[in-house]
Structure 1
Amino acid sequence: MREEVTRERVIDVATRLFAGLGYDMTSLELVADSVGVSVSTVVGLAGDKRQLYLQMMDRMYEEHRGRIQEVIDRTESPYEAAHQIADAYMDVFLANPDLLALWAQRWASDATGIPEVEDLYTRPLMQMSARKIKDVVPPDLGPYAFLGVVIWCVNGFLSTGLLAPKKGMLRSDDVQARNYFRAILHIIVDRMLAPPPTTPPPA
């Protein structure tokens, strides 16, 4: 008996296609063919192409938001939170390569007909993170620029790797390379943060 096609199945297939080919190069016909159903079935389950894309991004966002919220809730020190937020961004992309690929497609001018994507899925994460760390970021940098640098560094390493100290490249699929980059990332975070307040010596 043929397995029932669900909305989740359609979104799963569409996610892989959007990540691999981009929104602009992925048609509903291709999604339907990949699922093994008609276009009308895809639309009935998940909406048109734009709606399908946004539902996919909704699901990705909720997982990412959950990781950042967990850091914010469990970490009292904004200094420690800044480091853990950097780790969370890296870990989310490592665990979800399709998410990194989707954003890489977006940065290559994919889905420009959906201009609200960053405001829907990037800005809320930046805002919640910025509120947590704003008091420990120097005012001439500010929390949004701080987070931007962290995200650019993480995305750059995961997408292209890092030039090795002596020869060749360090790629993100190598555990030792990840550990090396993570150590560098934490040094960068430290350099960008304001010095922690010192406790005055007892009188």
Structure 2
Amino acid sequence: MAMGGVGEGGPESDTARQRVIEKATHLFASLGYDGTPVQMIADAAGLDIDTVTDLVGGKRELYLTVMRRHYLATQAMFNTAFTEFTPDRAGVLLVVDRFLDFYTDHPEVPELWIHRWLSDAADITGLEGLYLKPLRDSVKQAFRRAAGPGADVDMTLETIIWCVRGFVVGGMVSASGEVHGPANVEYLRRFRTYLHQLVTRSLALNE
């Protein structure tokens, strides 16, 4: 039996599989796909490589599982927000707030995508089209119903994503040189206020 005593099937196997996925998520988000050897994931999960492979497949399969898992979670968040959406400023800001809150609660998601910006996992292509595009398209469709004349919905949405990812992962530098991210309530409030202003003006929304 492999280290960790995980047999095939059953609750124990399911628990071990979830542990592997969670540890891999943390490591991929922190170090990137290319910088995370399978042995490191196995060690973090308290298992050997053979057991990890039996549970989730190889490193590529594990990465794809991690990315799909977070895509589905993001999709669920937007779907919930869309049930409350109204085609006006309040509705747009509700979606923006849900997006910011989701990334604040799950910083590993923007971290995973930022690594891809830096050409991490470059041999695994197509994830942007498979996962990002459908989400963007659904948000754009909703925002276009509320946007004013001349608003560039495409660029505004990209700007929202860039800003939120940057703030959640990198934070803001204060006047004293300290970095503050969403864990700092005051800086999170300031960023949210700025984001509301940016979106309202960029989409020409009536206040």
> CA–CA distance in 2 between the matches of 1:152 and 1:18?
20
Match of 1:86 in 2: 96
Unpaired runs of 5+ residues, structure 2, are 7-11
- 2:206 is equivalent to residue 188 of structure 1: no
Q: Percent same amino acid among aligned pairs?
A: 33
Mapped to 1, the partners of 2:171 and 2:147 lie a distance apart of: 27
Note the C-alpha offset of 1:192. Answer: 0.9
Match of 2:159 in 1: 149
- Identify the residue that residue 53 of structure 2 maps to in structure 1: 43
Cα distance between partner residues in 1 of 2:205 and 2:195: 17
TM-score normalised by structure 2 residue count: 0.84
Where do 5+ consecutive residues of structure 1 fail to align?
Answer: 198-203
Select which of 12, 17, 38 maps to 1:28. Answer: 38
Q: Does the 8 Å CA contact 1:7/1:46 hold for their aligned counterparts?
A: yes
TM, length-normalised to structure 1: 0.86
Correspondent of 1:17 among 2, 20, 27: 27
Q: Deviation above 3 Å: which 4+ runs of structure 1?
A: 1-5, 138-142, 166-170
Pick the aligned partner of 1:133 from 115, 136, 143: 143
Which residue of the other structure, out of 158, 177, 180, is the alignment partner of 1:171?
180
Q: Deviations over 1:96-151 (max 9, x none)?
A: 12222212222222111112121122111101111111133356543222210111
Task: Give the one of 165, 169, 175 matched to 1:159.
Answer: 169
Cα distance per residue 1:46-70 (max 9 Å; x no partner): 1111111111111111111111111
* Aligned residue type for 2:188: R
Aligned residues: 196
Q: Which amino acid aligns with 2:24?
A: A
Contact 1:170 1:177 in 2 (8 A): no
User: Structure 1 residues 144, 75: CA separation in 2 closer, same or farther (over 3 Å shift)?
Assistant: same
